[in-house]
């Protein structure tokens, strides 16, 4: 398995690391952040306990600067999640490094569904791991941890995937030529951007992934677990029903980068993509920006 993961290191001006290989676990929760705040914080704490001590060392302060994550900073972020009396949105960004992209990150964007500032807001929580965590801990441990992080979250959609981990927007970057080449070759490589999709995803999906979490109302719109069983009669696939009318779909034994220079896209990914197609996120309008065209095309890569 270790040999199946490409080593990705994208560097910007000054040699700073702007992107690297890793694994992302993301959840999109179609609820006001005020309804899910305690569960969000418990998931963040579970992640912190599962990763190396002090792997998260910095956070984004109220004025937008990166500052050291000490005990006072941890309490500041707890209050940012839990204290919801004033409504509005909430943001928590925890990093391994103040300047470079590290393997460990937490991003939380608590949204109000009636927010006038977002097209289709959705409360979003995302965690990243370096590929080394997966190689050392094993795929069973990472899958178990993803399930633990999801357990209390009333997600509409979520996923875990091999990914290009970055603190930059991967679709708007000076490294675009390198990223485009990676995405063209590795169909199983995700290019996550939790902040952007938290403003636009609503109740839609982003596609099939190694671990695909489906909840309400998306699961019902797709036909429920029976429709999934009918569409995914593959030995690699497993379905795990979860409390709250949710399900975890596992498409493969490990988060396969799917190197298309070496093999075809596995059929179970195409089958789930076809079932998801009416509910896939797509930018719409007559004057789309180049990155929006690229995103639309990439999100349909399994169809």
Confidence band of 99 (pLDDT split at 50, 70, 90)? confident
CA pair distance 167, 103, nearest whole angstrom: 10
**pLDDT, averaged across the chain:** 93
Write the DSSP symbol of residue 14.
G
Distances (CA, A) of 45 to 48, 91, 96, 119, 300: 5, 16, 16, 30, 34
pTM as predicted: 0.95
For the chain, the straight-line distance linking the first and the last C-alpha, in angstroms and rounded, comes to: 26
Pairing mode, strands 123-130 and 105-110:
antiparallel
| Whole-number Å distance between alpha carbons of 197 and 15 | 28
Closest CA to 254 of 164, 139, 141, 167: 139
Q: Using one digit for the tens of pLDDT, what is the confidence trace for 124-168? A: 999 999 999 999 999 999 999 999 999 999 999 999 999 999 887
Q: Where are the domains of the chain?
A: 2-299
Does the structure show a pLDDT above 80 at 230? yes
Give the number of other CB atoms < 10 A from CB of residue 79: 11
Q: Which residue has 């963040």 as its token pair?
A: 44
- Is the alpha carbon torsion for 168, 60, 112, 156 positive or negative? positive
The SS3 call for residue 226 is: helix
Mean pLDDT on 56-64: 90
Q: Where is 246: in which H helix or E strand?
A: strand 246-250
pLDDT score at 45: 97
Query: Tens of pLDDT along 10-28?
Result: 988 788 888 999 999 999 9
């Amino acid at each position: 398995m270790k040999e199946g993961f490409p080593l990705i290191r994208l560097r910007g001006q000054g040699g700073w690391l702007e992107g690297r290989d890793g694994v992302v676990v993301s959840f999109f929760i179609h609820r006001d952040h005020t309804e899910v705040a305690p569960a969000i914080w418990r998931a963040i704490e579970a992640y912190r306990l599962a990763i190396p001590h002090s792997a998260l060392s910095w956070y984004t302060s109220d004025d937008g600067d990166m500052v050291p994550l000490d005990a006072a900073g941890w309490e500041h972020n707890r209050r940012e999640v839990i204290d919801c009396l004033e409504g509005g949105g909430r943001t928590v960004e925890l990093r391994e490094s103040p300047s470079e992209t590290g393997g460990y990150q937490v991003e939380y964007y608590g949204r109000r569904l009636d927010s006038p500032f977002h097209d289709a807001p959705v409360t979003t929580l995302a965690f990243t791991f370096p590929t080394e965590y997966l190689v050392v801990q094993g795929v069973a441990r990472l899958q178990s941890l993803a399930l633990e992080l999801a357990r209390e979250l009333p997600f509409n959609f979520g996923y875990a995937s091999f990914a290009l981990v970055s603190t930059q927007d991967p679709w708007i970057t000076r490294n675009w030529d390198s990223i485009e080449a990676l995405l063209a070759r590795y169909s199983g490589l995700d290019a996550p951007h939790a902040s952007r999709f938290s403003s636009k995803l609503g109740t839609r999906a982003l596609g099939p992934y190694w671990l695909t979490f489906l909840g309400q109302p998306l699961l019902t719109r797709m036909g429920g677990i029976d429709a999934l069983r009918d569409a995914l009669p593959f030995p690699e696939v497993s379905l795990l029903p979860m409390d709250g009318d949710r399900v975890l779909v596992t498409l493969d034994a490990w988060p396969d980068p799917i190197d298309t220079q070496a093999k075809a896209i596995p059929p179970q990914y195409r089958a789930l993509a076809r079932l998801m197609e009416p509910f896939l996120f797509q930018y719409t309008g007559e004057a789309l920006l180049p990155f929006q065209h690229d995103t639309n095309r990439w999100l349909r890569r399994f169809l």
